[in-house]
């Protein structure tokens, strides 16, 4: 019997594909996953939300972008996680820890966005990261890495 996944962190590519790339070969599989988000304890980090909005800024009006930034959870049924460790921390101490952890992940040959997503997922003790780019995370973490399709197959 497989362990039930409790909290999964989602990569930005799921939402970018859903909103902007309906002709992509993965679109229908991605849409199926997005439609099932309501039944999944799925989350994105605050950093991932900013990454999504940065990409979306090239295609959305200012009003639509504000709706994404401040009302993302009304568009997609996901949790937005606070930046891990920031509450109650001295900002300088938090920044030092953040840079150390992000740099350690970047040293694993990761982009900044992926390194931060991995940092948040590990610090929140997520059960899995769901992404279309599994190769970006494989052999870089103890966490389970699944595509949206792979996640749905397991659940």
Per-residue pLDDT 10s for the chain (155 aa) are: 344 456 899 999 999 999 999 999 999 999 999 999 999 999 999 999 999 999 999 999 999 999 999 999 999 999 998 888 777 667 888 889 999 999 999 999 999 999 999 999 999 999 999 999 999 999 999 999 999 999 999 88
| CATH class of residue range 8-154 | alpha beta
Residues 127 and 121: their CA atoms lie apart, in Å, by 8
Burial class (CB in 10 A: 0-12, 13-18, 19+), 116: buried
Residues 37 and 65: their CA atoms lie apart, in Å, by 21
Q: What are the sequence ranges of the domains in the chain? A: 8-154
Put simply, whether the predicted model's pTM sits higher than 0.75 gets the answer yes
The structure tokens listed for 80 are: 């937005």
């Amino acid at each position: 019997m497989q362990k039930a996944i409790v909290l999964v962190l989602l990569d930005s590519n799921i939402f970018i594909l859903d909103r902007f790339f309906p002709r992509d070969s993965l679109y229908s599989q991605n849409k199926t996953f997005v439609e099932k988000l309501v039944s999944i304890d799925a989350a994105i980090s605050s950093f991932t939300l900013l990454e999504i909005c940065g990409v979306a800024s090239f295609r959305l009006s200012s009003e639509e972008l504000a709706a994404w930034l401040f009302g993302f959870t009304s568009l997609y049924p996901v949790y937005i996680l606070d930046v891990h460790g920031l509450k109650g921390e001295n900002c300088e101490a938090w920044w030092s820890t953040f840079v150390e952890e992000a740099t350690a992940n970047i040293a694993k040959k990761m982009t900044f966005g992926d390194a931060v997503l991995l940092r948040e997922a590990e610090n929140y003790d997520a059960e899995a990261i769901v992404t279309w780019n599994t190769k970006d995370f494989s052999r870089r973490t103890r966490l389970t890495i699944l595509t949206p399709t792979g996640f749905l197959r397991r659940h």
